[in-house]
Amino acid sequence: MALLVYKFGGTSVGSTERIRAVADKVKKAHDLGDQIVVVLSAMSGETNRLIALAKDMQEIPTEREMDVLISTGEQVTVALLTMALHALGCEAISYTGAQVKILTDSSFTKARIREIEDAKLRADLNDGKVVVVAGFQGIDELGNITTLGRGGSDTTAVAIAAALKADECHIYTDVDGVYTTDPRVEPKARRLDHITFEEMLEMASLGSKVLQIRSVEFAGKYNVALRVLSSFKEGCGTLITYEDTQMESALISGIAFNRDEAKLTITGVPDLPGVAFKILGPIADANIEVDMIVQNIADDATTDFTFTVHRNDYQRALGLLEQTCADLGARKVTGDDTIVKVSIVGVGMRSHAGIASTMFKTLAEEGINIRMIGTSEIKISVVVDEKYLELAVRALHAAFELDKIKA
């Protein structure tokens, strides 16, 4: 008998028909003897409907009231799923975040969970009930309703799994697992049975939007085994845990990419202490997030400085950088918003030399010019012209034999 936390997103509970399908799935697992807590999001579209109502009331709606408003979305789905379970003869009970209670700080619309009271949940589970909890919401010390921000239902599920020391936390979504890369780019992409938290974090932040980064961090922190599965398709999904011996054999787990970046370069900057701050300070002040940063010495007295930003911020960043160029007496500013970032990710590269050289050799053989390189402990990223994206991903997928199942 296992204790499992199931989380279903808005698409999975998007209609009464789909809610009934979720009830069927939960009932089957419950009948097998597992103890089950279900965490739900609002029906897809509902949160946006409520936000539109709010904006019709107040240009920038008060955040406390926004949380009172949008937390109703999950309250509706937990009641409906519990009714659907009752209709199947399955004992079940619903709870809002406040009822559980899921104690958070008071940062309305982006609260952080502080503590979860597990007494009620444990008692209900021991009574043989399925417990259905509203995701995304909690209550602060003063009794105000709070919400956790986008993707908060995943965080709720992981936090409850941690509090109950659940065996696994299943995140049901519209994909059937984590893939070696995006199957729309490389049809040979393969579903991974296992991936580590660290790899998942790198994959997620690089654009594989299967899971919210925060819930992965949270799962890693509390060592909750996460499993990503499809709501609509049978299968065992991808299990996300800490590195284990079995997984060490894989050098590279996957290839991530990001089409949303643009690159800016300032050249001939007088190489003095504090120059990086002078360049990036105005960018940060304008609330523009910077991803990769590379600095090269061009000659003895000057340096070249390159960084990437989101494409939406490209024009603004370019304007700021030209001002900085004039202020610093640098040579010139160039930029390019037709680039992509391609990254190979894997915990295996920690202990294996030669990964980088295989990557660079593969790209060179395809005639792909590398415009920028960045690395972390378990990731190597390159920036290339966007026209090479598919070619680069497929070549690297083949070079690291990601289409083959590892022993």
194 part of the interface to its own copies, by CB under 8 A: no
Site for its own copies in 239-268 (CB under 8 A): none
Interaction of residue 56 with its own copies, rule CB under 8 A: yes
Tell me which residues in 4-43 interact with its own copies (CB under 8 A).
Answer: 16, 19-20
Binding to its own copies by residue 82, rule CB under 8 A?
yes
The verdict on 65 binding its own copies (CB under 8 A) reads yes
Q: Which residue in 3, 21, 83, 370 binds its own copies (CB under 8 A)?
A: 83
- Shortest distance, position 40 Cβ to its own copies, whole Å: 12
Q: Of 90, 98, 201, 279, which one interacts with its own copies (CB under 8 A)?
A: 98
Rule CB under 8 A: choose which of 62, 223, 296, 338 binds its own copies: 62
Could you tell me how many residues of this chain bind its own copies (CB under 8 A)?
Answer: 38
Single residue of 71, 173, 208, 306 touching its own copies by CB under 8 A: 71
* Touching its own copies, residues 141-180 (CB under 8 A): 143-145
Q: Which is nearer to its own copies, 76 or 356 (CB)?
A: 76
* Three-state DSSP string of the chain: CCEEEEEECCCCCCCHHHHHHHHHHHHHHHHCCCEEEEEECCCCCHHHHHHHHHHHHCCCCCHHHHHHHHCHHHHHHHHHHHHHHHHCCCCEEEECHHHHCEEECCCCCCCCEEEECCHHHHHHHHCCCEEEEECCEEECCCCCEEECCCCHHHHHHHHHHHHHCCCEEEEEECCCCCECCCCCCCCCCCECCEEEHHHHHHHHHCCCCCCCHHHHHHHHHCCCCEEEEECCCCCCCEEEECCCHHHHHCCCCEEEEECCEEEEEEEEEECCCCHHHHHHHHHHHCCCCEEEEEEEECCCCEEEEEEEEEHHHHHHHHHHHHHHHHHHCCCEEEEECCEEEEEEECHHHHCCCCHHHHHHHHHHHCCCCCCEEEEECCEEEEEEEHHHHHHHHHHHHHHCCCCCCCC
Shortest distance in whole angstroms from residue 144 CB to its own copies: 8
- Judged by CB under 8 A, which stretch of 29-37, 90-98, 259-267, 347-355 contacts its own copies? 90-98
Residue 106 interacting with its own copies (CB under 8 A):
no
Comparing CB distances to its own copies, the nearer of 145 and 333 is 145
The one among 3, 21, 76, 276 contacting its own copies by CB under 8 A: 76
Instruction: Pick from 59, 244, 285, 300 the residue near its own copies by CB under 8 A.
Output: 59
Binding residues for its own copies, rule: CB under 8 A, are 16, 19-20, 50, 53-54, 56-59, 61-62, 64-66, 68-69, 71-72, 75-76, 78-84, 86-87, 93-94, 96, 98-99, 143-145
